[in-house]
Amino acid sequence: MIRFFNTMSGRVEPFEPLSAGAVKLYTCGPTVYDYQHIGNYRAYVFEDLLKRFLLFMGYKTSHVMNITDVDDKTIRGANLRGVALGEYTQKYQEAFFEDLRTLRILPADVYPRATEHIPEMVAIIRGLLEKGYAYRKEGSIYFSIAKFPAYGRLSKIRLDELKPGQRVEADEYEKESVHDFALWKQPKPGEPFWETEIGPGRPGWHIECSAMSSKYLGETFDIHCGGVDNIFPHHENEIAQSEAFTGKPFVRTWMHCHHLVVDGEKMSKSKGNQFTMSDLIGQGADPIDLRFLLLSTHYRKMLNFTSDVLAQAKASRRRLLDFLFELERGDLSPGRTNPVVSDLIGKARRGFVEGLADDLNISNSLSALFEFVREVNTLIASQKFGQGDAEACAAFLREVDSVLAIFPPKGLQEQALPPEIASKIEARQRARQQKDFKLADRLRQELIEEGIILEDTKDGLRWKRTKPSGRTNG
Ligand SMILES: [Zn+2]
């Protein structure tokens, strides 16, 4: 049985999707006003672990992630740069999708853009006006939180000091300012706006997630994820808008991942401790080590990112990789199978699944795998282990890697590559990360001349040889 912590109830609860075998999942996506930092990717990797585990357990998933391409921050950025909003956000969208591929995050089924769903948002706002939950003030439209008694249930804010009728127009604000929030903002000089049946203007941030989640997943769906900083005001406001409009429960399970801090401090541009993926890759980090680090800390714990913990993650992942490569080398005596091996695999699989089924307790799942490595290594050392055993163990590791996604594709074993080729492949990946496509193309061409073809697949980079490996040496 799968159990998840539900922010709404404050408890770990059994998880059962609305329709058997299929999970409807909404995850708040990026605001594309800048490059995403590793704190953002912590949330996306957590959501990827959740989704991959559900798939592993045999569920189908429908996954929607919105792209916020109009809000206070994107408009400010476009105006500062003096370019159209769409042109400004395009670059950051592309960088985001590139990072997702690099981190082996499975793509969502739909990535709806806010600017492409204005009519859906307008329909909800009009409904909220008609039902008396929203009101007009000076050309804008606000949600009246006094009309929605359940307001504050998710974030557990205290409403005793609530002063009805006070308004906040900003998309993001602190818990101290619990106010009526903007659904629709009046046109302002220099800001993009839409002519609609509720008047000219542009949407607030929160309404887009209410509109786009219900369009693609229905009025009530299974899981809504985000970072803890989304709980208030963003998710609180989503609930108010959606439930006031539909009269139905909005989301069954709310899951939020905790912050990532760097060297014990909150990330900020001014402190210079806010890293993007390109920053880390430029410093020589392997993005899959970063993925392993992000997923190997339980999602409800604060993650303190330091160069030491990244090095530890690298070393732990290396242990699993070396073990897998040894199993896949294929040089053991053929045919022999040790009956203990299938018991060990069964025990490790149970430990792995039980850990993740317990509110994604990844530490227990990884412990089960490392215990498995130790036990199998003992068998190998005592020579009670044949080729058939190695294949069964390797197949098991490949199976759990559909959840972890930390191994290279089969056949891509780092030690099989001459070091100069491996470093050229790495340099080409780095160049792509840093958007130096000219250099990336040149390196790719050089690799082709040396008989290595690169393919970018949804599971990451693959390579294959076009010539026998000895030939380059003449
Ligand atoms: Zn959202």
Report CA(93)–ligand 1 centroid distance (Å): 16
CA–CA distance, 428 with 422 (Å, rounded to integer): 10
Predicted local confidence at residue 421, as pLDDT: 76
Report CA(173)–ligand 1 centroid distance (Å): 15
Helix (H, G, I), strand (E, B) or coil at 359: coil
Report CA(215)–ligand 1 centroid distance (Å): 14
Report CA(367)–ligand 1 centroid distance (Å): 34
Predicted local confidence at residue 413, as pLDDT: 56
How many other C-beta atoms can be found within 10 angstroms of the C-beta atom of residue 462? 15
Alpha-helix runs per DSSP H in 72-195: 72-81, 85-102, 118-130
Report CA(268)–ligand 1 centroid distance (Å): 22
Instruction: Identify the band that residue 291 occupies on the pLDDT scale cut at 50, 70 and 90.
Output: very high
**What does the pLDDT look like over 364-393, one tens digit per residue?**
999 999 999 999 999 998 888 999 999 999
**What does the pLDDT look like over 8-39, one tens digit per residue?**
999 999 999 999 999 999 999 999 999 999 99
Backbone angles phi, psi at 180, to 5 degrees: -60, 135
Report CA(31)–ligand 1 centroid distance (Å): 10
Report CA(84)–ligand 1 centroid distance (Å): 23
Whole-number mean pLDDT of the chain? 91
Q: Could you tell me how many helices (H) and strands (E) the chain has, helices first? A: 14, 16
CA–CA distance, 13 with 29 (Å, rounded to integer): 25
Predicted local confidence at residue 463, as pLDDT: 72
Predicted local confidence at residue 163, as pLDDT: 63
Report CA(67)–ligand 1 centroid distance (Å): 9
Is the per-residue pLDDT at 219 higher than 70? Answer: yes
**What does the pLDDT look like over 29-85, one tens digit per residue?**
999 999 999 999 999 999 999 999 999 999 999 999 999 999 999 999 999 999 999
**What does the pLDDT look like over 334-371, one tens digit per residue?**
766 788 999 999 999 999 999 999 999 999 999 999 99
- Give the mean model confidence (pLDDT) for residues 112-125: 98
Instruction: Identify the band that residue 473 occupies on the pLDDT scale cut at 50, 70 and 90.
Output: very low
Is the per-residue pLDDT at 269 higher than 80? Answer: no
Find the Cα–Cα–Cα–Cα dihedral 274, 276, 279, 282, rounded to 10°: 160
Report CA(28)–ligand 1 centroid distance (Å): 4
Report CA(133)–ligand 1 centroid distance (Å): 20
Predicted local confidence at residue 237, as pLDDT: 97
Report CA(206)–ligand 1 centroid distance (Å): 6
Instruction: Identify the band that residue 472 occupies on the pLDDT scale cut at 50, 70 and 90.
Output: very low
CA–CA distance, 142 with 128 (Å, rounded to integer): 10
401 closest CA partner among 346, 459, 351: 459
Helix, strand, coil tally for the chain in percent (to 5): 50, 20, 35
Helix (H) or strand (E) holding 5: strand 3-6
Report CA(29)–ligand 1 centroid distance (Å): 7
Report CA(227)–ligand 1 centroid distance (Å): 10
Report CA(168)–ligand 1 centroid distance (Å): 18
Cα distances from 8 to residues 156, 223, 239, in angstroms, run 9, 11, 11
CA–CA distance, 143 with 135 (Å, rounded to integer): 7
Report CA(232)–ligand 1 centroid distance (Å): 11
Report CA(352)–ligand 1 centroid distance (Å): 31
- Give the mean model confidence (pLDDT) for residues 91-99: 96
Contact criterion met (CB below 8 Å) for 310 and 292: no
Share of the chain above pLDDT 90, in %: 73
Structure letter (DSSP) for residue 178: -
Instruction: Identify the band that residue 474 occupies on the pLDDT scale cut at 50, 70 and 90.
Output: very low
**What pairing do the DSSP bridges indicate for beta strands 180-185 and 202-203?**
antiparallel
User: For the residues of 288-340, what is the DSSP string, one character each?
Assistant: HHHHHHHHHS-TTS-EEE-HHHHHHHHHHHHHHHHHHHHHHT--SPTT---HH
Q: What is the pTM of this model?
A: 0.87
**What does the pLDDT look like over 385-441, one tens digit per residue?**
999 999 999 999 999 999 999 998 776 554 456 667 777 887 888 888 888 888 888
Report CA(139)–ligand 1 centroid distance (Å): 24
Report CA(14)–ligand 1 centroid distance (Å): 24
Is the per-residue pLDDT at 303 higher than 60? Answer: yes
Predicted local confidence at residue 168, as pLDDT: 84
Report CA(230)–ligand 1 centroid distance (Å): 7
CA–CA distance, 265 with 350 (Å, rounded to integer): 37
With a CB cutoff of 8 Å and minimum separation 6, the contacts of 196 are: 118, 119, 122
Report CA(458)–ligand 1 centroid distance (Å): 25
Is the per-residue pLDDT at 202 higher than 60? Answer: yes
Predicted local confidence at residue 211, as pLDDT: 98
Instruction: Identify the band that residue 164 occupies on the pLDDT scale cut at 50, 70 and 90.
Output: low
Contact criterion met (CB below 8 Å) for 220 and 80: no
CA–CA distance, 333 with 294 (Å, rounded to integer): 38
Predicted local confidence at residue 415, as pLDDT: 46
Strand partners, 464: 453
**Beta strands per DSSP E along 11-106:** 11-14, 22-27, 60-65
Predicted local confidence at residue 470, as pLDDT: 40
